[in-house]
Amino acid sequence: MAMTNNKTQCVICNKDKITYLCEGCSKNFCLIDLTRHRQLLNEELRHIIEDYDQFKERFGEQKPNPHDLSLINEINQWEMDSVIKIQQKARDCREIVIKSSQTRINDTEKKLNALSEQIKQIRDENEFNEINLEYLRNELKKIRQELNSPSKTYIQQEAQSIINEISIISLERPTFNKWKQNAITVAGGNGYGHELNQFKYPYGIFIDKNKNIFIADYWNHRIVEWKYNAEEGDIIAGGNYQGNRMDQLNSPTDVIVDPENHSIIIADQGNRRVIQWLNQNQDILIDNIDCFGVAMDKHGFLYVSDHKKNEVKRWKMGEYNNEGIIVAGGNGKGNELNQLDLPAYIFVDEDQSIYISDRDNHRVMKWRKNAEEGIIVAQKNLNQLSYPRGVIVDDLGRIYVADMWNNRVIRWCEGEEDGEIVVGGNGKGSESNQLDNPYGLSFDNEGNLYVADNGNFRVQKFDIVL
């Protein structure tokens, strides 16, 4: 407080007195009123202290908010789920690395065995010269260099929120991963017709572990099974003329076999339904869908491409009464990364990534699990794709596409701009090294490649070779 030199009016009693300025409120008080003013300030301070003490006591007794506990539980669950995913991804990547290493060893063993046979033959016949010896020396040198060359397999990290997703990317193309260019006809090949050794346009195919071939015989409205080395097929679904009865089919486009119960699951395109046949008993799994391709992952989820809605949907086994979940496309017809234009055949890998032959966009799309858009893994470029049909992926992630109007099968390695011709590509024709509008593709358990040679009414088997 500061004393003024002259008398001024007190703000309380309104009398001219010697007053004192309160610097807090900038008002003048006489001595009596100043004392009262100070008492009021002290009283207010006491109330503040009481409020502080009460709040501090309540704060000390405060328990965690249930909402906060719920958030903590969510964080804990996220942590556990993330750890499980990371551990599973690590196991999968280790398995790929081990498998890739074993593949390299097996390749070397095969080449050594082949070279051993050549050495034995030369030694037994005892007819050789410097040219033969130079050839043997060069072959051994090449095998040694390939074995000692640095591995072209590396880890690629994909930066995402919190967790870095890793994948094994292999740049190696094993020399044995090729196929004889002259195929063997293993089903059909007897012209256009409805006899058991004929087809009216084979579409999708499926090879089981016993090398039995299941074929969607499009215009015969039936599914035919050709036993290994059989001369004709057996009708296992449909075959009762075109129709929509439970024992009939209408232009089926694809077929798979459920490994759990060995039932046949069919894209019954003309009837707009996906139907299951088990021991001649039929059950409609999904109705009112413009289905084309069907696939199943290792967890038993069923995937179906809808070529009119331009989407792929997924169903959990046994829960077909719901609408299914859109896992690719579903954003209208178009060529953006979140769109499709007449999706045909599909393939699902170990990570539940979906590969789709996006027919009228002349490309193959890969949609990772839970992705909002796809990536182009095979497209129009140096090797022009023209209306791709069948698509399959091998254990090393290489993509094989039935390039329909170019009458060939092309292989793409993800991340590369161009593919390479695997079989066909010798013009449209019916010779053993030619194809005519190839559709479905499949591997058997030995790596032999099967092609539904649609325009030649046959299924061709291309044997794997060194």
* Side-chain-side CA neighbours of residue 351 (13 Å): 25
The reported pLDDT for the residue numbered 382 is 47
SS3 content of the chain, % helix, strand, coil (to 5): 25, 35, 40
Positive or negative torsion for Cα 145, 147, 148, 151: positive
The reported pLDDT for the residue numbered 163 is 65
**Phi, psi of 449, rounded to the nearest 5 degrees:** -100, 130
The reported pLDDT for the residue numbered 264 is 96
Residues 289 and 340 both lie in one domain: yes
Residues 111 and 130 both lie in one domain: yes
| CA–CA–CA angle 312, 315, 320 (5° rounding) | 120
| 16: number of Cβ within 10 Å | 12
Q: 110 to each of 104, 117, 141, how far by Cα in Å?
A: 10, 11, 15
| 363: number of Cβ within 10 Å | 22
Residue 69 forms part of a structural domain: no
Identify the domain boundary among 170, 186, 215.
170
Task: Supply the pTM of this predicted model.
Answer: 0.66
The residue type of 14 is N
The reported pLDDT for the residue numbered 428 is 94
The reported pLDDT for the residue numbered 466 is 57
Residue 371 forms part of a structural domain: yes
Residues 15 and 159 both lie in one domain: no
Residues 357 and 411 both lie in one domain: yes
Identify the domain boundary among 170, 196, 231.
170
| 347: number of Cβ within 10 Å | 22
Domain of residue 100: give its range.
79-170
Residue 74 forms part of a structural domain: no
Residues 164 and 186 both lie in one domain: no
CA dist 106 and 112 (Å) reads 10
Residues 125 and 203 both lie in one domain: no
Q: Residue 451 burial (CB < 10 Å; 0-12/13-18/19+)?
A: buried
Dmax of the chain from CA atoms?
140
Identify the domain boundary among 151, 170, 189.
170
User: How far out from the chain centre does Cα 325 lie?
Assistant: 15
Residue 3 forms part of a structural domain: no
CA dist 357 and 112 (Å) reads 39
Residue 45 forms part of a structural domain: yes
| CA–CA–CA angle 19, 20, 21 (5° rounding) | 125
Q: Token pair for residue 214? A: 């299941």
Q: Which residues of 119-132 are buried (b: 16+ CB within 10 A; e: fewer)?
A: eeebeeeeeeeeee
User: How far out from the chain centre does Cα 281 lie?
Assistant: 32
Residue 54 forms part of a structural domain: yes
Q: 247 to each of 235, 264, 296, 326, 465, how far by Cα in Å?
A: 12, 13, 23, 30, 42
Q: How many domains does the chain have?
A: 3
Residue 68 forms part of a structural domain: no
The reported pLDDT for the residue numbered 181 is 94
Residues 118 and 182 both lie in one domain: no
For 129, residues 6+ apart whose C-beta sits below 8 A from its C-beta are none
Residue 1 forms part of a structural domain: no
Residues 258 and 133 both lie in one domain: no
Residues 162 and 182 both lie in one domain: no
Residues 278 and 202 both lie in one domain: yes
For 366, residues 6+ apart whose C-beta sits below 8 A from its C-beta are 353, 354, 355, 356, 374, 375, 376, 377, 414
Residues of the chain with pLDDT under 70: 1-5, 62-68, 152, 157-177, 380-383, 466
CATH of the domain at 362: 2.120.10.30
Residues 91 and 209 both lie in one domain: no
Residues 460 and 378 both lie in one domain: yes
